[in-house]
Amino acid sequence: MAGQRINIGLKEELHAKAKALAAIKGISLNEFFEEAVKSSVGKDKKLFEAVK
């Protein structure tokens, strides 16, 4: 694992769903969240570039 570590608070139901989806995809929960953040950043690329 490389990069910055963070702690986030999630409601139990959301955590359980994310954990289940990660297991179904055969990836770690960390990898699942990294994919989710990359996807979100990609969707808001124009906004990100505007404030950069």
3 vs 32, residue with greater confidence: 32
Q: Does 7 fall in a domain? A: no
Let me know if residue 4 belongs to a domain: no
Does the pLDDT at position 1 exceed 80?
A: no
Nearest to 21 by CA among 9, 8, 33: 33
Amino acid letter, residue 2? A
Answer yes or no: is 23 within a domain.
yes
Q: Retrieve residue 35's tokens.
A: 């994919």
45: containing domain: 12-51
- Tell me the pLDDT tens digit for each residue of 7-51: 999 999 999 999 999 999 999 999 999 999 999 888 888 887 888
Q: Is residue 22 part of a domain?
A: yes
Query: Is residue 6, in this structure, part of any structural domain at all?
Result: no
* Number of domains into which the chain is organized: 1
Residue 37, sorted as left (phi over 0), alpha (psi -120 to 50) or beta, turns out to be: alpha
Structure pTM?
Answer: 0.78
pLDDT of residue 29: 96
